[in-house]
Amino acid sequence: MKTPIEPIERVIDELGKLPGIGRRSAERMAYHLLAASEKDAMALAVAIRDLKKRLHPCRVCGAVTDGDLCVFCSDPDRDRSAVCVVESQRDALALDETGAYRGLFHVLGGRLSPTAGTGPEQLSVEPLLARLDGGEIREVILATNPDLEGDGTAAFLAEMVERRSGAKISRLARGLSSGGQIELAGRDSLGAALANRQPLRGKA
C-alpha cells in the first residue's frame, strides 16, 4: 500500500532501510508514530539524533562512547594486562556480558576482506599495535568472528602482534554450541570439537 502522503511515505522509506524491516513492518511503525503523541514520537527522533551527535570512538580502544574513554577503558577494576580484539562494539558487549572476561577490549571496526576491499589501513590495527608498546599488555585475545574472513584477520593480527610484542596471543575456542545437538552441528564445528576435546580424567 503506497501512501500518497509524502511525510508518511518518507518515514516508511527510512524505516524500511533498517535491517530486518520490510515494507509492512515499516508501515505499521510509521502509522504507530503518526498516532502516537508528539512527545513519544519525538523521543525516538531525538534519541537517533543524539546517537549520532553525542557518540564517538574511545580514543584508546575505538569502542563508541559519549565520554573521553569508553566504559571499558575507564573502568579501574579491569585487568589491564589483557586485550580482547573484536570486530565490533557489539562483539565486545556480548563477550563482556558473559562475565568470563574482565580485561580490556580493542574494536577493529570491521575485518580484513579482500572482496569488500577492506585492508589493514581501514581497520584500527595501528592503534592496537601502539597499545602494545607500553609493555603492560601481556595477552592479546583475537576474538574476530569464527569464519573465513575472521580467521584471516586473526592470522594477520597474530603475525603483527608477534612482531611488535612478546604478549601471549590466543584465539577463542571452537566447538559445539552449548545446548546444541551433535547431529545438527556443522562439520567444521564438529571437527573443532574433536580436535580440541577436553580431558576429563585419566592420563594420556
CA dist., res. 92 & res. 84, Å (int): 8
Ramachandran category for residue 104: left, alpha or beta (phi over 0 → left; psi -120 to 50 → alpha): beta
Residue with cell 530486518: 20
- For position 194 contacting a copy of itself by CB under 8 A, the verdict is no
CA dist., res. 83 & res. 173, Å (int): 16
Q: Which of 23, 31, 57, 175 binds a copy of itself (CB under 8 A)?
A: 31
Q: Closest approach of Cβ 184 to a copy of itself, in Å?
A: 22
- For position 90 contacting a copy of itself by CB under 8 A, the verdict is yes
Residue 38 to residues 35, 155, 180, Cα–Cα distance (Å): 9, 52, 46
- For position 6 contacting a copy of itself by CB under 8 A, the verdict is yes
- For position 11 contacting a copy of itself by CB under 8 A, the verdict is yes
- For position 184 contacting a copy of itself by CB under 8 A, the verdict is no
- For position 94 contacting a copy of itself by CB under 8 A, the verdict is yes
Q: How many residues contact a copy of itself, by CB under 8 A?
A: 54
Residues 146 to 175 in contact with a copy of itself, rule: CB under 8 A: none
Cell matching residue 54: 553525542
Residue with Cβ nearer a copy of itself (57 or 175): 57
Residue with Cβ nearer a copy of itself (42 or 184): 42
Q: Which of 23, 49, 59, 102 binds a copy of itself (CB under 8 A)?
A: 49
Cell matching residue 90: 557489539
Cell matching residue 22: 520490510
Residue with Cβ nearer a copy of itself (12 or 142): 12
Q: Which of 60, 83, 89, 144 binds a copy of itself (CB under 8 A)?
A: 89
Q: CB of 129 within 8 A of CB of 164?
A: yes
- For position 44 contacting a copy of itself by CB under 8 A, the verdict is yes
Cell matching residue 2: 503506497
CA dist., res. 156 & res. 182, Å (int): 31
CA dist., res. 88 & res. 62, Å (int): 9
Question: Residues, the chain, total?
Answer: 204
Q: Where do contacts with a copy of itself occur on this chain (CB under 8 A)?
A: 1-8, 10-11, 13-15, 17-21, 25, 27-34, 38, 40-52, 54-55, 64-66, 70-71, 88-90, 93-94, 97
